[in-house]
Amino acid sequence: MSETTQSTWTAESVAAELIRCEDERVDRESFSDDWPDLDVATAYQIQDLTLAKRLARGGQIVGVKLGLTSKAKQQTMSVDSPIVAWLTDGMVLPTEGPAKVSDFIHPRVEPELVVTLKADLRGPGVTPAQALDAVGSVLAGVEVIDSRYRNFRFTHQDVVADNASSGAYVTGTVAKTVPEVDLALEAVLVEVDGAVVDTATGAAIMGHPAEALAAAANMLGARGITMEAGWVVLLGAMTDAVPVQAGTTLAFHYTNLGSIYLSWED
């Protein structure tokens, strides 16, 4: 008999458990302890199964998000490679009124640069310049991340399976084109209750946000998936995420892309 304990988890049961945690707003231990052999390819299969469950409930794909594209995020989360995950229409944060802490498990909020695509992008082999050619508009964005894992403690495989801690997102109202904004130089100030707690420029995202867009096209291309015209793409947080509670007011001020405000209540 081998001493390795065989995991009783399957891709399907992990996907079902992640969606249950999201629905019931409960966290759980990560899977990698129970399933040490869980590999990245299987983790993406799990992610795709969670997408299938969202689509079966009537959700629609609106695009993708990148995760862990900045050093700040990689160091804090102890995962050093970028990942890609699905965005569906149910993840759009209502802009009327404050966000509700009770809609999430343990929300954290982070500033993003966002693009929409005007042309399909299919990897592998997409360069940052080719990626930029497919961009329709550039927007500010704010993402609410909400890991299904206790204390946001996870491995690369765990967080891939968990759709990169997807929660909700909102985009700003100022839309620019690529020639109008220097994406690497576009800065953000993160304010919590009126005090600046962090700042970064777009260069925090893999040296240039176009690198992240190309990486998304190439990671998806390796799985046979084309990024489609019309998709929204969150390029990954420029700074660490801010944990929020009822009463917190956040403001994200961008150099050229406007400001996004988000208040929180119970």
Rounded distance, CA 101 to CA 105, Å? 8
Q: Which residue's entry shows tokens 């690497």?
A: 184
Q: Interface with Mg ion includes 162 (CB under 5 A)?
A: no
Cβ distance to ligand OOG smaller for residue 123 or 167: 167
Q: If we measure between CA atoms, which residue out of 44, 66, 81 comes closest to residue 217? A: 66
Q: Which residue's entry shows tokens 């804090």?
A: 76
Q: Collapsing DSSP states into helix, strand and coil, what is residue 27?
A: coil
> Which residue is nearest to Mg ion, using beta carbons?
143
Q: Interface with ligand OOG includes 237 (CB under 6 A)?
A: yes
Phi, psi at 67, each rounded to 5°: -130, 150
Q: Could you say which residues in the range 236-255 bind Mg ion, by CB under 5 A?
A: 237
Interaction pattern, residues 74-93, with ligand OOG; x per rule: CB under 6 A: ---x----------------
Phi, psi at 237, each rounded to 5°: -65, 140
Q: Interface with Mg ion includes 158 (CB under 5 A)?
A: no
Q: Interface with ligand OOG includes 137 (CB under 6 A)?
A: no
Tell me the window of 61-69, 170-178, 209-217, 250-258 that interacts with ligand OOG (CB under 6 A): 61-69
Query: Contacting Mg ion (CB under 5 A), which of 143, 158, 162, 198?
Result: 143
Rounded distance, CA 7 to CA 36, Å? 8
Q: How far is the CB of 4 from ligand OOG (least distance, A)?
A: 29
Query: Is the separation of the CB atoms in 198 and 113 below 8 Å?
Result: no
Q: Interface with ligand OOG includes 123 (CB under 6 A)?
A: no
CA distances from 89 to 92, 106, 232 (A): 6, 21, 11
Rounded distance, CA 46 to CA 43, Å? 5
Q: Interface with ligand OOG includes 152 (CB under 6 A)?
A: yes
Q: How far is the CB of 124 from Mg ion (least distance, A)?
A: 24
Interface residue list for Mg ion (CB under 5 A): 143, 237
Interface with ligand OOG (CB under 6 A): 65, 67-69, 73, 77, 110, 143, 145, 147, 152, 159, 164-165, 236-237
